[in-house]
Amino acid sequence: MLFFAESPISKKEAANFVDCSINTLNADIETLNTTIPDDIAHVDEIDRKLTLRAATRINFDYLTAFMISTSHLFQLALSEDFIVFCDELNPKEHWAQHDFIISDFPLPEVTDVDVLVWHMPPTKRDLADLDTIVRAKYGTIE
């Protein structure tokens, strides 16, 4: 939305567009500004209006790829931990140790099928499908 906007967009309009609260929008903006280096892009707020400042060589696809490649889900899928979990820990505890989830988050019991899916090599997984599976099983965490 901000990438293609020709003028600043109000926070309320942006929150309505992405169907979230102002607090969630603020947290997401902070995450974006923390994750993306300033010389690539930055979301600025002036008088409760948002603009995206991006370097001239940066396009929307680059920003999307940058955010995906720095996400926990993508890093987990590429990590050795995704393929081989420690035998003495269940996957939830193992992920919690690496800040992928909080250890006391009330996840449903992990089944043998979950463990089997988690042990599949990432080359056999489509990250979009993995995201769909996780959202369907555990919902969206805000």
Model confidence pLDDT, tens digit, residues 68-102: 877 766 666 666 555 444 444 455 555 555 544 44
pLDDT at 72: 67
pTM check: above 0.75: no
More confident residue, 116 or 54: 54
Report the amino acid identity of residue 66.
F
How does 55-78 read in b/e, with b if 16+ C-beta sit within 10 Å?
Answer: eeebeeeebeebeeeeeeebebbe
CA 34, CA 53: separation in Å to the nearest integer? 14
pLDDT at 67: 81
Alpha-helix residue ranges (DSSP H) falling in 18-108: 22-35, 60-69, 72-78, 80-83, 91-97
What are the CB-based long-range contacts (under 8 Å, 24+) for 112-117? 115/85, 115/91
